[in-house]
Amino acid sequence: MRKVAMTSDNHFDINHVDLVAVLEQQVAYLLAHHYTDYLIAGDLFNDFKQSVAFVEKLTQQLQPQCRVFFIAGNHDMIRGTDYVELQSAVMPQYAHQKLIDFPGTDYVLVGNNGWYDYQFAQIPGKTAAEYSRWKKAFWIDGVIQQPVSDFERMNLVLTDTAAKLQQATQQHKKVLYMTHFVPQAAYIVHRSREMLETANAYMGAPRLGDLLTQYQVPYALFGHTHFKYPPHQIAGTTYFCRPVGYGTKRRQEWRFGTDFISEWQACLQTLELE
């Protein structure tokens, strides 16, 4: 059996945490509760190099009792990396475009950073070109450079995901899928103002949820939305989405704790795999 801990959207830099203290606290908690795997579904820092460095330190202090795997969220992508690196293997703990075995179980981890295709936004007549221009002007992702369009990037996500899910099927393995962006419309909050509704274009893609349903994926972990949900089953897949989020004065997204580590502990989700 594997005892898997799951988190997303720690946003260490935005939350102004003491990294030395938080690293020590997270390691102590994961070891004390006998976790065998720790999954991070994106957005550790606004800098991929810092995210990689933190995961390296976390891995060193948790091994061999607990493995660590992470993917990049949109915040991780905005500096300290480029498209080519994000599509490469980077390090053993980077789960993007990988299929990773959970030893002693019938499960594998399939990881993909994910992306979006504008289809969650409900604004009649707005074109892909308009969504792209709006993103570059107003959305944090506008600084992320890529050689393909958002729709094409999402197609690559779907192609790789389908290949990994097919591979798992051939191996008679069940899948825990980890991504950053939202795969199901049930997690999208629609707004009456066009400016706010436009943001839904960059939340994720319903086509990913359709693919997970098609392959009968038992479990999926994601973040990005910054709303906290209990585990919820949709079309046979149980979705986990409880991001830590921002504990800033302006956003005040922490709901369960009084400081970062108490919020992280309260948002940490556990899955036991056999």
**What tens digit of pLDDT does each residue of 108-152 get?**
999 999 999 999 999 999 999 999 999 999 999 999 999 999 999
The reply to whether the predicted model has a pTM over 0.85 is yes
What average pLDDT does the chain have?
97
How confident is the model at residue 128, as a pLDDT?
A: 96
Asked if 82 contacts 51 with a C-beta cutoff of 8 angstroms, the reply is: no
Mean pLDDT throughout 55-75?
A: 98
Strands laid side by side in the 232-234 sheet: 98-101, 107-111, 174-178, 219-221, 237-240, 232-234
pLDDT digits (tens, 9 = 90+) for 215-244: 999 999 999 999 999 999 999 999 999 999
Q: How confident is the model at residue 274 (pLDDT cuts 50, 70, 90)?
A: very high
pLDDT digits (tens, 9 = 90+) for 160-206: 999 999 999 999 999 999 999 999 999 999 998 999 999 999 999 99
* Residue listed under structure tokens 């690559």: 156
Q: How confident is the model at residue 2 (pLDDT cuts 50, 70, 90)?
A: very high
How confident is the model at residue 75, as a pLDDT?
A: 98
User: Domains in the chain and their CATH numbers?
Assistant: 2-273 (3.60.21.10)
Asked if 205 contacts 156 with a C-beta cutoff of 8 angstroms, the reply is: no
